[in-house]
Structure 1
Amino acid sequence: MMHSPASVILLLLCGTRFGGAWGYTIPQGPADAVRRGEAINTTRAGFIYGPAVAGGPFYPSGPLGKAKVDGDIGNEQLEAVPNSALVAKDIARANSSAEQYQGLDTLEEYLLLYQGQWAKTLPKGPAPGVLTNYTQDLFFSMERLANSAFSVRRLPRSSELPFLVDGSIVSNVTGSSLQKLLKDGRLFYADHRAQKSWPKTTNKFAAACDAYFYVSKKSGQFLPLAIRTNVGSNLIYTPVDDAADWTLAKIMFNVNDFFFAQTWHLAATHEVVQIAWMAAIRALSIEHPVYALLNRLTYQLFAIQPLAQSFLFDNGTAFDTLFPITGSGARDFVTELYINGTGAFKDGYFETDLKKRGLIHGDGPTLDHFPYYENASTIHKAIRNFIRTFVKSFYQSDRAVQSDPELQAWAAEANGPAKAIDFPNEFDCIDAIVDALTHIAHLVSTVHHSVNTNNLISISATLPMHPASLYKPVPLTKGNTSVAQYLPPLRAVLAQFQVDGIFARPLIANSTRSLSYMFDSPTFLNGTNRETRTAAAKFKEEMFSFSKEIQGRKFDKDGLSQGAPFIWKALDPTEAPFSLTI
């Protein structure tokens, strides 16, 4: 049966299933493939690859593409409007409490920003430990293994050292030499030097830091060793510096890491999923089970690019007003990240990425604690188990996968007209399609929400340690006595909170929009089968159980949780969304 363009638009917008006697089907022989192909051709004619909207890959165009975008924007606005109302109430309250903050002349006064504030947007307050342990070196370093786990890597033993640090200082801090740390596989590195060359905003400043971290042979802890500014006199800071200088160095690194995390996540999650989904829309029948699953996982997906352009990148919007790099520069930085590795599909697979960066199974000692991996792996395993059951309920063998013309067309479309990066060339076995679908589910959940959504306002953008910019030029000499003079004034503080609040989604907590309900949708499940519905129920049960574990976490006798002096709860499945959201 051939669908009219109007009916196809309707089906694309609402995700309504259409198919055989009980639901989704894969092509049942040549005649069925021809029938389905006619409808796919109608879709292809109306859903086409248009120019990028906010950097990165193609964006939907054509009548069906525009209709799908409008539908996603409508769904996003249903959540954004009430959330924005909460942010407005909190900002109004914070504005009326200026006297409470005592002028923001010291680091400690920035903590007053959280007393009795943000009850609507951040009902549980910042992550435990943020307001008490924020100056600790272990807090700074363990953020690289929790809420900001995508910029750090272990240096291979054969590496050239990116920069040198005074040997006596290294010995004093680590009990070893820099070369010995490298040889032992204990030296880690993060590099934000690329940020130096992008156009800058007015009256906001940043370094372009790179930094060393190391695994202590004595304690086993993951700790900071040195931060280089790469600006001006190119100072190198270490933990033996005066407290104010070292604190400022950590803040300067955080400014760079904050910018990186927000631009990187657009390229690594939104844009990778976007182009894979566009190729799927043009290659798969709406009767196909893989189409149905992707339609569920990509809820609101196409709303993000126009929102990012209008809210983040346009002149005078978030990047221009808060960050040291302009909106147009940030947009181009996203595109460069996407093209030069971040947009790679298979290379971004969960353990593939972590192994590549030496964070798991690395050439050196195992990290005693890795909060991101520990949290994400529990969810990733449950996602993979569900998807394996789902896929095997439709494909009884590898041959059945190989023989599905629509599935193979998806791979061909992605690698051809879509110009996706590192997408599978073909699906030759059950594991290959399970891997790809698991990765998409992983990107929309355990990657995205570890760096964005509620994570921002609860830890990654908390003050005083995480401003979006410095408000005084990077120092040329050491000996600073006031770190607060580099921090944002109240107007900029409230602007940062307002933007971060827009990204939060407190109303999703304990609702069917939470990650626990990723596969529990009548629209999706009604077209599946008993095995899939049973697996979806099991997934939800496992997520509720994991949520209780996360919510029950407390500091141990050493004042640590998962080896960190903060309790990281961003991937609580009852609070994080099941899709990319914003």
Structure 2
Amino acid sequence: MIKSILASVLLATAAVQASPALTERGFENANNDDPYTLPNADRNARARAAAIDVKRQGWQYSEFPMGVAYYPTGTLANKTIAKDQETWLPPILEKSAAATKESVIALAAINSKGGFNKLEDYVNLYDGQWPEAFPEGPIPGILTNFTDDRTFSMMRLSAAPYRVKRVKPSDTLLFPVDDAAAITGLSLKQLQTQGRLFLQDFSEMKELDPTDKFGAGCQGYFYIHPKSGDFLPLAVRPLVKGRENSALVYTPKDSANDWMLAKMLLNQNDGWHTTWAHITQSHSAAEIPYLAAIRTLSDSHPVLVMLNRIEKTPWNIRPLLQNGVVAGAAPDSGPAYYAWTSLSGRAWANQVYASGETANFQSNYYRTFLENQGLINSPVGPKLKSFPFYDDVSVIVESIREFMTTFVNSYYASDSAVAKDSELQAWQRETVVAKVFDFPKSITSRRTLIDILTHQAYLGGVVHGVTSTNGAIGDTTSLPFAPAGFRQPIPTKKGVKDLMAFMPTPEGAVWQVVTYSAANRFSWKDTNETITYMFEDQAMLSKMTSQTRVAAQKFKSDMNAFSTEVRARKFDKDGLNRGMPFMWNVMDPNWAPYWSVV
């Protein structure tokens, strides 16, 4: 059983090992110590232009089934991808080997304790298990406080904010909640009018092709309490295809079993979103502007050098995931514990990207996105009392912006200098050819360039960290809180007597840890692969401006200080940290990788 479960995790290695011969990424500057330069300062402009032409021939666009965005092909692209795999492959093999070994031991330990008879038994899935693959288990508090409604609601303001939005007074309400006033003190319409109502809508998931497990496309309401100011859950409506008109609405007034099942169904949607949307939300969204830059910027250009650093080995992941999709669709792929097929996952991820939800560049700048969702600076309604995602991410992204500001200003004395950079202008034009959605229509100011580079770093270091690597396995896909699939059909009436009949078996639970531990990088904690070391490349910095070197040191110092702050956090006398019954530490910059690992 476990061997077949692990087959899809290990499948990637075959494609990796079949790659072309190796070469260097930056072939123009591989063997010289010349400082990086802008086009108008290059002593040999003709040779520089000729080298870019060579790159354009060697880095071309090709269609790709996973992630929508163009994928590179060509002699130089293939060689660079193969070279990158020297860095990328060893951790994958190491994680796979650890998961293979530890999954057998974990399953035996669970069964020796009588399996799973109640939700609390899922602690045995993690306790003392996975010493290499997932040694610390879910983030503190998740296993002990999963029944607390604040765990459910505050997960949306930390680990899973990407589908949360404030309902505008002019919006059409998606479903009624008859006992809203009994729960909140205000009617649903009053909550909406006062800007206190929030929504998560995953209803499109009901259209996905099912496996022999079960799920629903859920809609959920949350609200800011009119007295306490707490962010709390109000209602969940699971939608099943063909049964939309009879969909049940669950609230905290329902039985404990019914309400818990409803919360887990919405958690299942967030777990699916984390799994599949992250492919386009971090990988595709960052890869395609980068590919356009490779085709237009000299390898001597400091902006491309910076992008090379941020976009570490980016081209391996979508082929890996595509192989996983194919393996998951094969007749002998082993047990399926997702509620929906891998082919549906790919189609859904591609749809999310093509819609612009994850592909749009400027509208996904983190402040812009959060403002558009009504989560910060909302013109209606009260401010969120606690917003851990924004608290942590803003520290990191604004530090990145500070570094990028110094970096850009040290090369461009004015906005006109940016406008006169012929390669930057070519990059902007190339993004149209590359079909980069919502990219700036011009790069004629330092601010615009700073925004672009900050966002590229945010996609790999922050978005990916929240939705993969440190995140996901520790929060949005942890058990028992967020099963990938349920063993029983979604109920047609309330009154669930036995939640365990819906829950994953020990084999299914082990599969879930194995699947998501492939992205976890616990062994990289306190190493130079973390956000703190995002710009700590002495070979790169030695050929950049002195101001950039100073800024890199300041960034490193600021991230070390923030890491110390994160690790010093405690639960207060009420068992809460920033309003949460769990300790969200995913963005510890001395733990979260600075690049989109897997």
- Same fold? TM cut 0.5: yes
Quick one: distance in 1 between partners of 2:503 and 2:36? Answer: 55
Distance 2:87 2:66 in 1: 20
Q: What is aligned with 2:351?
A: 336
The aligned counterpart of 1:360 is 376
Distance (Å, rounded) in 1 between the aligned partners of 2:193 and 2:335:
43
Matches within 5 A, 1:22-37: 22-28=34-40, 32-37=44-49
Query: Are positions 1:325 and 2:335 aligned together?
Result: no
Pick closer, same or farther for the CA change 1:517–1:463 going to 2, 3 Å. Answer: same
Structure 2 counterpart of 1:483: 499
The answer for the alignment partner of 1:159 in structure 2 is 171
Equivalent position of 1:225 in the other structure: 234
| Contact 1:76 1:300 survives alignment (8 Å) | yes
- Residues 187/320 of structure 1: CA separation in 2 closer, same or farther (3 Å cut): farther
The 3-state SS of whatever aligns with 1:238 is coil
Separation (CA, whole Å) in 2 of partners of 1:319 and 1:217 = 50
For 1:494, the equivalent position in structure 2 comes to: 510
TM-score (norm 2): 0.92
1:471: Cα distance to partner? Answer: 1.2
Aligned residue in 2 for 1:240: 253
Determine the structure 2 residue equivalent to 1:139: 151
In the superposition, the TM-score normalised over structure 1's length comes to 0.95
CA deviations over 1:40-68 (Å, ceiling 9, x no partner):
00010111001114131110111112112
- Cα RMSD after superposing both structures: 1.9
1:372 aligns with 2:389: yes
Q: Deviations over 1:64-114 (max 9, x none)?
A: 121122223332102222232332332132022133442212112122222
How far does residue 467 in structure 1 lie from its aligned partner after superposition?
Answer: 0.8
Tell me the SS of whatever aligns to 1:229.
strand
Q: How does 1:183-332 map to 2 (within 5 A)?
A: 183-201=193-211, 203-231=212-240, 232=243, 233-312=246-325, 314-316=327-329, 321-332=336-347
> Given that residues 513 and 578 in structure 1 are in contact (C-alpha distance below 8 angstroms), is that contact kept between their aligned partners in structure 2?
yes
Amino acid at match of 1:121: A
Q: Does structure 2 retain, via aligned residues, the 8 Å contact 1:255–1:470?
A: no
Q: State the match for 1:540 in structure 2.
A: 556
Pairwise CA distance, 1:523: 2.8
Match of 2:484 among 468, 482, 486: 468
In the alignment, the residues of structure 2 paired with residue 17 and residue 224 of structure 1 have an alpha-carbon distance, to the nearest angstrom, of 55
Aligned to 1:315, what secondary structure does the other structure show?
helix
- Relative distance call for 1:306 and 1:148 in structure 2 (3 A) is same
**Residue 118 (structure 1) aligns with:** 130
Alignment check: 8 A CA contact 2:271 2:472 kept: no
Look up the SS of the partner of 1:455 in the other structure: coil
Q: Return the alpha-carbon distance in structure 1 between the equivalents of residues 564 and 530 of structure 2.
A: 14
1: CA distance, partners of 2:531 / 2:118: 39
Contact persistence 1:372–1:450 (CA under 8 A) = no
CA contact (8 A) 2:139 2:583 kept: yes
Tell whether the 8 Å contact from 2:536 to 2:552 is kept in structure 1 after alignment. yes
Distance in 1 (alpha carbons) for counterparts of 2:228 and 2:136: 32
Name the structure 1 match of 2:97: 85
Structure 1 residue 334, shift from structure 2 partner: 1.0
The answer for the alignment partner of 1:557 in structure 2 is 573
Aligned partner of 1:324: which letter? A
Q: Is the 8 A contact 1:106 1:482 kept in 2?
A: no
Q: How does 1:5-154 map to 2 (within 5 A)?
A: 10-12=23-25, 22-28=34-40, 32-154=44-166
Do 1:126 and 1:459's aligned partners in 2 also have CA atoms closer than 8 Å? yes
> Is the contact between residue 29 and residue 300 of structure 2 (CA under 8 Å) also seen in structure 1?
no
**Structure 2 CA distance for aligned equivalents of residues 17 and 242 of structure 1:** 66
- 1:428-470 CA-partner distances (Å, limit 9, x unpaired): 1000000000000011111111121122222221111111111
Q: Write the mapping of 1:412-427 to structure 2, written as runs, cut at 5 A.
A: 412-415=429-432, 417-427=433-443
Counterpart amino acid of residue 494 in structure 2: K
Change (3 A) 1:296 1:345: same
Aligned partner of 1:499: which letter?
T
Q: Which runs of 5+ in 2 are unaligned?
A: 1-21
Identical amino acids, percent of aligned pairs: 37
Give the whole-Å Cα distance in 1 for the aligned partners of 2:202 and 2:292: 33
The secondary structure found in structure 1 opposite 2:277 is helix
Question: 2:383 & 2:27 partners in 1: Cα distance?
Answer: 47
What's the secondary structure of 1:432's corresponding residue? helix
Question: What's the counterpart of residue 5 of structure 2?
Answer: none
CA contact (8 A) 1:313 1:330 kept: no
Q: Answer yes or no: is the 8 Å Cα contact 1:313–1:331 preserved in 2.
A: no
Relative distance call for 1:412 and 1:247 in structure 2 (3 A) is same
SS of equivalent to 1:227: strand
CA distance in 1, matches of 2:168, 2:580: 25
How far did residue 31 of structure 1 move? Answer: 7.7
Counterpart code for 1:292: V
Tell me if structure 1 keeps the 8 A contact 2:67–2:279.
no
1:178 aligns to what? 188
The 1-side partners of 2:165 and 2:115 are apart by 39
Q: Structure 1 residues 267, 83: CA separation in 2 closer, same or farther (over 3 Å shift)?
A: same
Structure 2: which amino acid aligns with 1:186? R
